[in-house]
Structure 1
Amino acid sequence: MTSNDIARAIVAAAALVAVSTAEAADLPTPQAKAPIRAVANRSPWQMRLRALGVVTTDSGRVDGLPGSDLSFSDTIIPEFDISYFFTENIAAELILGTTYAKVHGGGSISALGEIGKTWLLPPTLTLQYHFTELGAFRPYVGAGVNYTVFYNQSGKTARSLDVKNTFGVALQAGFDYMIDDHWGMNFDAKKIFLRPDFDANVGGAGVSGKAKLDPWLLGAGVTYRF
């Protein structure tokens, strides 16, 4: 191969490299995929919508009537709650819902039958610890306070019924199973220690006593994390 042949080969190779470089420069630059939102940047707000079973303890007394007892109706209601996460493990939850209870006489006053009916609004605030080491399965436990407002009360065999608003202690356990970053399924159980005083008028006589409701709140529904 002559020196002229070598020169022509070098020139051809250089031209090929230049063309390849220009074509590569014209290709669109691959775009990096958007990173999944970091845990630290997640919204602290969460909400749930649940079907809630309110299962009461059938117990109570009318003062001055030995052997008297009370029983209360159970209900299923819709319930809404809002949670705020201070950290990924620590959150506060406020539940909102309303229900009613029919009050029946028991024991020595069972002949009274349905004494009356009351609606109740039991907002409950709990502080929770969420376990986050189990992937999509997020169990939690909590404890807090309840304040129950009794309203729209009416007597039946009693001429009147007045159940007093009262505070109670709440214990809680449950779990979320997260389908993705936002949506999940929830099961929750709360025990509220709720024992209000009441006054009633039965047969023209004023009576008073204490209702031991102590309801279980058993809920299942959907979770949305903002």
Structure 2
Amino acid sequence: MKKFVLAASAAMAAAMIPGAAHAGNPDGKFQFKLMGTAVLPDGELTDVDPGGVLPDGSDTKADNNVVPTVVFEYFLTPNVSLETYCCVTKHNVTGAGALEGAEIVDDIYLIPATVTAKYHFTEGPFKPYIGAGPTYFLYLKDKAGSAAQGLGVDDVDIDDEFGFVLQAGVDFRLNDKGLGLSIDAKRYFIDATARYYADGEEVLKTEHNLDPWVVSAGLALRM
């Protein structure tokens, strides 16, 4: 399914962006990107409340995902811009260490709402940049995995969370109509709190270190 979504997105970009590029402007105020993005979280377990519930050496990890993303950027000056992007990514949390292989939380859908301020170092066809800004992870859906359910957990809630992101990348101009290629890497600094419930009562709370890398590549159109 991931491959199908990415292939469909690439086909749409190939069909639409070259035509739109006739109206593009390499020095325009707006830039739009259609990219494939790898989301690579950690998921390490950092705290358990109440303590002693899990065996010594317990840990967790979150799996990776690849999703299509749409990026919107506005240039305040030739070298300074503001950027945000849109995607929904899905992950599962499984056990590590003493919990190796345990399915803990499944089908976690989240929106990593992010805004960065970027500085572009040159104004030529090859434009490296750096950026930084706030992020807010909005969790849309999740459910208890089979291992958690086997212990009587019937519901899981992951708290929405604020964090910070650093960014670096490069835009490469393909023609004088605003069409280009873009490669981007973001490092997020953000944690997660998961709450586990049985019959409506919270029975366990765990803290996790997410700190994902988010790496993207795709087509850009400046207008």
Q: TM class, shorter-chain normalised?
A: 0.7 to 0.9
Q: Taking CA–CA contacts closer than 8 Å with sequence separation of 6 or more, which of the two structures ends up with the larger relative contact order?
A: 2
| Matched letter for residue 219 of structure 1 | S
Specify the alignment match of 1:51 in structure 2. 36
Alignment of 1:1-226 (within 5 A): 42-61=27-46, 62-63=48-49, 64=51, 65=54, 66-110=56-100, 113-117=102-106, 118-133=108-123, 135-156=124-145, 157-158=147-148, 159-181=154-176, 182-201=178-197, 206-226=203-223
Identity of aligned residues (%): 33
Distance in 1, matches of 2:99 and 2:196, equals 14
Q: Return 5+ residue gaps in structure 1 as ranges.
A: 1-36
Q: Return 5+ residue gaps in structure 2 as ranges.
A: 1-23, 149-153
Helix, strand or coil for the counterpart of 1:110? coil
Q: Deviations over 1:20-65 (max 9, x none)?
A: xxxxxxxxxxxxxxxxx998xx431111110000111141143314
Shift of 1:205: 7.3
| Matched letter for residue 65 of structure 2 | T
| Matched letter for residue 87 of structure 2 | G
Specify the alignment match of 1:27 in structure 2. none
State the number of aligned residues: 186
Larger radius of gyration: 1
Normalising by structure 1, what TM-score?
A: 0.76
| Matched letter for residue 179 of structure 2 | W
Bigger drift between 151-160 and 75-84 goes to: 151-160
